[in-house]
Amino acid sequence: MGKRPALVKTFNRLDDDFSPNGWSGQLVRRIAGAGSTSFIALDLHWSGAPRGSLLDAINSGRADAALVRTARQMAALRTTILIEPGWEMNGRWNNYAWQGVANGNAAAPAKYRSAFQRMVSIFRREGARNVKWVFAPNVGNAFTLSATGPSHWNWYGNYYPGDEYVDYLGPHGYNGSTVWGGSYQDFGTLFDGRDADHILSDLERRYPSKPIIIGEYASDEVRGRDKGRWIADAYTMMRRHRNVVGAVWFNMRKEADWRIDSSRSALEAYKTAMRDPSIRSDFR
């Protein structure tokens, strides 16, 4: 793509080994050695996690030992690490055990807030001040699939743990009409349209002091549509939002071919976007 990534995102469990001997620890160190910053999506499972509400277990202290160990290993890294714990908490897919649907529905946002706060407090107590915390909801409301806002318990803002515990806002969104049905959506509609509860504008209005990193985004290749145009429009839209300071493209073939080089048009558009000198190869 013509430019070293400032952020490299990986997916890890709560009790993965981030020591110098652990696979996760070696990976984070190699990312830092290459001049990039690790952005970790933290799966809240740990070995021995009980059945039932995962958030209740965390809030009761049953994950504390794993949290303390991970916090100490992170502190020893002495480099900035971004962590989004329990991403897409307002979704209802992939059997994510920290989502509201798996933790009592209307009672879940308060549990999530408490669990997030507990994790941050333990990390800070253990000296892991190099860790920056990302609040990463999905766009829109997975229960209503339409503009709903604060009137519904699963509205993203109900999960927000508070300014004291959040360093970055990291919304997720995918244009995947061939995978999940629904309409084809450009970036502006996906992240700031009516059915997305205008999440980008809403985040800027409600939390003006918090910078935004688009935590995950991508588009599928759709017959009759130009993915390259989608990418170009995405960067045009992001530049209009003053609080957006970064974006992580989900560069994988998974449910669909999300990769930036899924077509020549897509790759050329991405390389063109990367030539913008305001897009940096280092994270500050």
Distance between CA atoms of residues 6 and 278, nearest Å: 12
Q: Which residue type occupies 27?
A: L
Write out residues in the chain with pLDDT < 50, as ranges.
none
Position 130 scores a pLDDT of 97
Burial class, 189, CB count within 10 angstroms (exposed 0-12 / middle 13-18 / buried 19+): middle
Distance between CA atoms of residues 70 and 15, nearest Å: 7
Domain locations along the chain: 7-274
Q: What is the CATH number assigned to the segment(s) 7-274?
A: 3.20.20.80
Q: Which long-range contacts (CB under 8 A, 24 or more apart) does 33-37 make?
A: 34/4, 35/4, 35/281, 35/282, 36/4, 36/5, 36/6, 36/7, 36/8, 36/283, 37/6, 37/7, 37/8, 37/79, 37/80, 37/81, 37/82, 37/282, 37/283
Position 215 scores a pLDDT of 98
Longest dimension (CA), the chain: 54
DSSP run (H or E) holding 215: strand 212-219
In the chain the first and final C-alpha atoms are separated, in Å, by: 21
Distance between CA atoms of residues 154 and 157, nearest Å: 8
The encoded tokens of residue 220 equal: 């599928």
Distance between CA atoms of residues 116 and 111, nearest Å: 9
Which residue do the tokens 């927000």 mark? Answer: 160
Contact between residue 248 and residue 7 where contact means Cβ atoms under 8 Å apart: yes
Taking the CB of residue 173, how many other CB atoms lie within 10 A of it?
24
Position 284 scores a pLDDT of 75
Distance between CA atoms of residues 174 and 135, nearest Å: 17
